[in-house]
Structure 1
Amino acid sequence: MATGSSSSTGTLHHLVYQLSTCPIPPTNPDQHQHLLHVVQKVMAHYAEYYRVKSLAAERDTLSVFVAPWATTLERSLYWIGCWRPTTAFHLIYSESSIHFEAHIFDILQGNGTGDLGDLTPYQFGRVSELQCETVKEENAISEQLSEWQAEAFEMIGACTNLDMNMGSLVSVLKTADDLRLRTVRKIVELLTPQQAVEFLIAAAELQFGVRGWGMNQDRRRGNRIR
């Protein structure tokens, strides 16, 4: 789950196409390995995106922090320069409910579907634990940002060069991005390959949907998107 340049978004569109054409459910070891391979490619894309973003933040912290490439809607939903990590858990619960309702008869008959509607009690328990852990980390990072803001106001009031304190803001942004990536990785590792494919498709579709709606709104207002 990442939003960035048109190049990054184009790559993600291509990867989502590969995800959507995966054989689900896999019926042989080769198909199983293919699912794993495509999931790994998506995760590698996310890791590369955050690596490049980290380098950009070191060069121009404020620009990356406010995400000028994003739509007004996207920025209104952002937490420290991008999506809030706990969004991933809301997505898991939502997709699990949708899949469960679609196949409720089969599941109640004891016929497993293997999709996100067929999460095991262990998986649900781990998702809940990961959510609690992530909330705690989010709160801690928000506190770091609050501390930076307080120091920045003091420096501005004292007519001190704020550039001296930008390193701390870069650190906050990198920590937030690290949590975003780790959250997706932990969820994907918890899921079966089929479930991971479904989760990543849903996450990308949510991103594309928000961006598309935001772009339409910005065009109506005459706002430009980089």
Structure 2
Amino acid sequence: MSFNRFYETWFDQLHHMVHQLTQARKPPTTQEYNHDLHQLVNTVTSHYAEYYRVKSLAAKNDVLSVFSAPWSTSLERSLHWIAGWRPTTAFHLIYTESSIFFESHVVDILRGLRTGDLGDLTPGQFHRVSELQCQTVQEENAITDELSDWQDGAGDLFRVCADLEEKMERLVVILEKADALRLKTIGRVVELLTPQQSVEFFIAAAHLQFGIRGWGTNQDLRRGNA
């Protein structure tokens, strides 16, 4: 199966999973239900892990195709950082969703009621989010520097063809590091959030992905008809 076909199937499955997350009852009131939410979160996390596993295989076969990402819209590609989403986007999403949830429950929160959602992050959670964001920025920058070094040596591709395979292998390694950081960031986020908050995070992340893809598809169709 080509990666294009795999991605179509994977994306459809993500839609189904988000529907399951949206239908999940919350807040949890029993230990058993906590377990059910935890299982849902693990299922979605595994779904992302499978995406990066197959993407790595595709990159080893044709890394330039993965960078060009023909399965993506022009808008999605314009937002890519090393053939995918920028890991620190996850933290910006948490801040945004936390603000939205907080505003929707501000009266209850001021009355001392706990909502248990992303608007109810504890000071400790906010501190951890901030720490992880700074750490992830540093890791992003290090990988970006590696790609910059690779690009600086692009002129060598035309002079020493014998090194072409080695250069492509290095590009695969850079891509795998970027994808590993993306997946690690998802894991870090899940660790610092409760199962309910993780569900809300995954829903928000998926809706952002669906929205960008939908808008990008419409723009590509308009340009194609122009």
TMscore range, shorter length = over 0.9
- Superimposed CA distance per residue, residues 88-107 of structure 1 (whole angstroms, 9 cap, x where no aligned partner): 01100000000000000111
- Superimposed CA distance per residue, residues 185-204 of structure 1 (whole angstroms, 9 cap, x where no aligned partner): 10011100110000000000
Q: Measure how far apart 1:109 and its partner are.
A: 1.0
| 1:36-75 alignment, distance < 5 Å | 36-75=38-77
Amino acid of the structure 1 residue aligned with 2:21: L
Report the secondary structure of 2:93's partner residue. Answer: helix
What CA distance in whole angstroms lies between the structure 2 residues aligned with 1:28 and 1:89? 29
Q: Which residue of 2 aligns with 1:141?
A: 143
Amino acid of the structure 2 residue aligned with 1:51: R
- Superimposed CA distance per residue, residues 102-151 of structure 1 (whole angstroms, 9 cap, x where no aligned partner): 00011111101000000000000000000000000000000000111112
What CA distance in whole angstroms lies between the structure 1 residues aligned with 2:69 and 2:131? 31
TM-score by length of 2: 0.94
TM-score by length of 1: 0.94
Q: Which residue of 1 aligns with 2:78?
A: 76
What CA distance in whole angstroms lies between the structure 2 residues aligned with 1:172 and 1:67? 16
Q: Which residue of 1 aligns with 2:37?
A: 35
Q: Which residue of 1 aligns with 2:166?
A: 164
- Superimposed CA distance per residue, residues 185-225 of structure 1 (whole angstroms, 9 cap, x where no aligned partner): 100111001100000000000000000000000011118xx
| 1:91-170 alignment, distance < 5 Å | 91-156=93-158, 158-161=159-162, 162-170=164-172
Amino acid of the structure 1 residue aligned with 2:146: Q
What CA distance in whole angstroms lies between the structure 2 residues aligned with 1:201 and 1:171? 30
What CA distance in whole angstroms lies between the structure 2 residues aligned with 1:163 and 1:68? 22
User: 5+ residue gaps in structure 1?
Assistant: none
Q: Which residue of 2 aligns with 1:21?
A: 23
- RMSD of aligned alpha carbons: 1.3
Amino acid of the structure 2 residue aligned with 1:47: A
What CA distance in whole angstroms lies between the structure 2 residues aligned with 1:115 and 1:123? 12
What CA distance in whole angstroms lies between the structure 1 residues aligned with 2:173 and 2:27? 42
What CA distance in whole angstroms lies between the structure 1 residues aligned with 2:23 and 2:39? 13
2:194 pairs, out of 171, 187, 192, with 192
Count of residue pairs the alignment pairs up: 220
User: 5+ residue gaps in structure 2?
Assistant: none
Report the secondary structure of 2:131's partner residue. Answer: helix
- Superimposed CA distance per residue, residues 13-59 of structure 1 (whole angstroms, 9 cap, x where no aligned partner): 11111111111111212211110011000000000110000010000
Q: Measure how far apart 1:159 and its partner are.
A: 4.9
Q: Which residue of 1 aligns with 2:182?
A: 180
- Superimposed CA distance per residue, residues 147-182 of structure 1 (whole angstroms, 9 cap, x where no aligned partner): 1111222232x1525233100000000000000000
Report the secondary structure of 1:173's partner residue. Answer: helix
What CA distance in whole angstroms lies between the structure 2 residues aligned with 1:151 and 1:16? 43
Q: Does 1:219 align with 2:221?
A: yes
Amino acid of the structure 1 residue aligned with 2:149: E
